[in-house]
Amino acid sequence: MNNMNGIKVRLVIAVVIALFSLVSYFGSGSENPITGQMQRVSMSPNQEITLGVQAAPEMARQHGGLHPDQKAQDLLDQVGIKLLSALKEYMRERSLNVASPYKFEFHLLADEKAINAFALPGGQVFITAALFKKLKSEDQLAGVIGHEIGHVVARHGAQRVSQQKLTQGLVGAAGVLGGTQESARMAMMVANVVNMKYGRGDELESDRWGIRLCHWAGYDPRAMLGVMDVLDAASGGRAPPEMMSTHPKPANRKEYIRRVLEEEFPGKYPI
- Residues within the interface to Zn ion (CB under 5 A): 203, 206
Please write down the long-range contacts of 206-209, taking CB distance under 8 Å and 24 or more positions apart.
206/147, 206/148, 206/150, 206/151, 206/154, 206/156, 207/147, 207/150, 207/253, 207/256, 207/257, 207/260, 208/150, 208/260, 208/264, 209/146, 209/147, 209/149, 209/150, 209/153, 209/154
Which one, 97 or 245, has the nearer CB to Zn ion? 245
Which one, 122 or 175, has the nearer CB to Zn ion? 122
Which one, 111 or 203, has the nearer CB to Zn ion? 203
Q: How are beta strands 117-120 and 124-128 bridged, if at all?
A: antiparallel
Query: Please, what is the minimum distance in Å from the beta carbon of residue 32 to Zn ion?
Result: 17
Q: How many CB atoms are closer than 10 A to CB 248?
A: 16
Query: Please, what is the minimum distance in Å from the beta carbon of residue 149 to Zn ion?
Result: 11
SS3 222: coil
Residue 207 one-letter amino acid: D
Query: Please, what is the minimum distance in Å from the beta carbon of residue 132 to Zn ion?
Result: 16
β-pair partners for 32: none
Which one, 160 or 258, has the nearer CB to Zn ion? 160
Which one, 64 or 248, has the nearer CB to Zn ion? 248
Residue 240 has φ and ψ, to the nearest 5°, of -65, 145
Query: Please, what is the minimum distance in Å from the beta carbon of residue 180 to Zn ion?
Result: 36
Rounded Cα gap, residues 262 and 270, in angstroms: 8
By CB atoms closer than 10 A (0-12, 13-18, 19+), residue 114 is: middle
Query: Please, what is the minimum distance in Å from the beta carbon of residue 203 to Zn ion?
Result: 5
Which one, 178 or 226, has the nearer CB to Zn ion? 226
- Nearest in space to 129 (alpha carbons), one of 100, 146, 109: 109
Query: Please, what is the minimum distance in Å from the beta carbon of residue 145 to Zn ion?
Result: 11
